[in-house]
Structure 1
């Protein structure tokens, strides 16, 4: 016969979790989640409860559930199960063993309401203001880059693909609304170039491999000093990296005007734009067509790479630690997913920076 856990049993287990380094407990100590309440309540526009019915869950509690989801790459159903199962999740949410836990549908509805309200920008900016108030100002210039984010591949006919390219909705989809709701009309195919693997004889092919990829693209600008994401944008996977530079990706509040980026951002339009806006370009120069790279440019690019490569750690963290992937349909929901991933990355980065400062 299994014994019911007593109060002290639960406390002992939580103490052990703390000793093992509970990341969520560190989040609770470091991040003031109450700062998000005004933006959440504005986006959700909760009623005052005078009409009766079951009161909604606290919006900050629900937002913390989205943080848990993002940290652990969980579906709504898995999130519901693990909140009921894990003491660390309950402690983070401030729930007791007998408290009501939001079900998967409630989590979906909460996220959907935030998505349709376009709330993720405000939530990101709210936390960025918190970072600035804590002394983490954008400093030492900024680094721009983009990464591909996978989405479930679509099985479409050639005619349906042609309609998508032309911005039309297939007649078959229009006749079947349930089918249309599962079709992602915003994600796109592109080619992902990666270094070819070493051959059996030990040689490495000179050409890169081009791998078909379906999904979206996350564009970010991080500050060089603290490596926090300061600006971001979501597009389909086929969108040009360079064009995003002129679409609000540059942070004008950085204490230094220097911009680092790879050759995808090198164009006359971008160079003219940055000069006009008062930025100093450290964007990699491209190799001349059918000519060897001049030695001085090669050396200059190598020096820029030492700094520019720091942005790769941001994407590596998001994909290895939180498994960044798009489960939903459409760019509006993909933007919400990537926006949450950027907020959570900045939270995790804040924890790291605070630990460094504590031991300085």
Structure 2
């Protein structure tokens, strides 16, 4: 903000009034975020990747951190592109967080949408999560103290085909369908989506708890404090077991780290991959047909379950804080971008509490 005084000796009424409003409009959470995160590497990365493309198309270019922060605000405060534009123009605390003074207005909603889509098209989301996590590690959190927790959750899409389901649908944990049934599903979806622009052509049905759900699935790995290290997004009918190895390889764990997961991930292939990667197998035991678990195996499962429950808290927090678990956009890549953005917002939101706990533990 730069409103000039009417004299050289005293501030104008507008300056005094605005300064008073700024003092009253403090947003402690957003101030803590600016303290936690060094935005300079984020700015360099985004501007380098996107500005040349925008200029080539003749579009107005905005600072990468400004636009990225707007997307964070949308998730933290559950705002649409139009709503966040209005809120920025009306909110002193938002303007301060974004570095926009009262003489300037917010980028319009269409610009915000194009920026988010550009991050998707350039496949920058995973790198942004990694960069933010690196910032948090400087504060002593995001460290893998004992191990990582692996789990998956369905992201429901409101853009499902209308009408009854006339195909064999995959179960949530494992897809036991034949190849013929999978081909029938592909043809069925192609027919149902044909000529219907409102349907998400990449979403799929899955059966969980006797109910049919349509959309995608996010597979995540978290620290033992529930902070998200990595995300893979698939259609909802992809089994959890199949994505275990790609997810473990994606987050590049140091040797010896424990990998905790429920019995839905039990397989010889997953255990063998952990052994070859020199990681500690903490996947819960699953009873074999005609062979019950031993008491030792049951106790092993109970111990894993106590720790693994923290990843369930992560899913619950995202649903409660950000109304997550529901697709805002159509398509696999855009949904993956949403999943990553919610993960970034979750990690940053939890960070101050964890830093305070860390300081108390070290006293």
Return the alpha-carbon distance in structure 2 between the equivalents of residues 108 and 72 of structure 1. Answer: 17
Map 1:20-99 → 2, pairs under 5 A: 22-46=28-52, 55-99=60-104
Q: Which runs of 5+ in 2 are unaligned?
A: 1-12, 168-181
Return the alpha-carbon distance in structure 2 between the equivalents of residues 89 and 273 of structure 1. Answer: 47
CA pair 273-357 structure 1, distance change in 2 beyond 3 A? closer
How big is the shift at 1:172?
8.7
TM-score by length of 1: 0.82
Residue 14 (structure 1) aligned to one of 22, 27, 31: 22
Map 1:312-351 → 2, pairs under 5 A: 312-324=312-324, 325-351=326-352
Return the alpha-carbon distance in structure 2 between the equivalents of residues 24 and 164 of structure 1. Answer: 50
1:166 maps to 2:186: yes
CA pair 170-189 structure 1, distance change in 2 beyond 3 A? closer
Q: Which has the higher contact order (CA 8 A, sep 6+)?
A: 1
2:211 alignment counterpart: 211
Return the alpha-carbon distance in structure 2 between the equivalents of residues 146 and 159 of structure 1. Answer: 24
1:189 alignment counterpart: 205
How big is the shift at 1:37?
1.5
Return the alpha-carbon distance in structure 2 between the equivalents of residues 321 and 106 of structure 1. Answer: 26
Q: Which runs of 5+ in 1 are unaligned?
A: 194-209
CA pair 47-261 structure 1, distance change in 2 beyond 3 A? closer
The CA RMSD over aligned residues, in Å, is 2.9
Q: Give the count of matched residue pairs.
A: 332
2:306 alignment counterpart: 306
How big is the shift at 1:59?
1.4
1:230 maps to 2:229: yes
- CA offset digits 1:198-245 (Å, max 9, x no partner): xxxxxxxxxxxx232222111111122x43211211111121111111
Return the alpha-carbon distance in structure 2 between the equivalents of residues 172 and 340 of structure 1. Answer: 30
Map 1:244-283 → 2, pairs under 5 A: 244-250=243-249, 251-254=251-254, 256-283=256-283
SS at match of 2:132: helix
How big is the shift at 1:309?
0.9
How big is the shift at 1:132?
3.4
TM-score by length of 2: 0.81
- CA offset digits 1:162-216 (Å, max 9, x no partner): 9982268747966x5xx44x321111121233xxxxxxxxxxxxxxxx2322221
CA pair 154-55 structure 1, distance change in 2 beyond 3 A? closer
Return the alpha-carbon distance in structure 2 between the equivalents of residues 52 and 345 of structure 1. Answer: 34
